[in-house]
């Protein structure tokens, strides 16, 4: 499960990095919204890893079971 958490966080971080680059032609409010949504998903993944919530974000990844 820890490997799945690392993969999810790395994937979300990469997506946020690509979107936050100045060369991406998206308006700044939309960039902030997308990055905020990715942070929320990462937070839910961490809470799912800790067992606080059960959203199933990490169980959909076949690694770490």
pTM exceeds 0.85 for this model: no
Look at residue 37 and tell me if it is in a domain: yes
- Please state the domain count of the chain: 1
Closest CA to 44 of 36, 35, 53: 53
Cα 27–9–61 angle (5° rounding)?
115
Query: Phi first, then psi: what are they for 53, rounded to 5°?
Result: -125, 170
With vertex at residue 54, the alpha carbon angle to CA 50 and CA 56, rounded to the nearest 5 degrees, is: 105
Residue 28 lies in a domain: yes
**Residue 62 belongs to some domain of the structure:** no
Residues contacting residue 56 through CB under 8 Å, at least 6 positions apart: 48
- Per-residue pLDDT tens over the stretch 7-31: 999 999 999 999 988 888 989 999 9
pLDDT in the model for residue 30 = 94
């Amino acid at each position: 499960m820890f490997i799945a958490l690392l993969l999810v966080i790395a994937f979300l971080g990469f997506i946020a990095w690509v979107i936050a680059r100045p060369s991406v032609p998206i308006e700044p409010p939309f960039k902030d919204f997308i990055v905020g949504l990715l942070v929320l998903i990462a937070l839910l993944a961490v809470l799912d890893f800790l067992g606080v919530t059960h959203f199933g974000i990490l169980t959909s990844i076949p690694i770490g079971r």
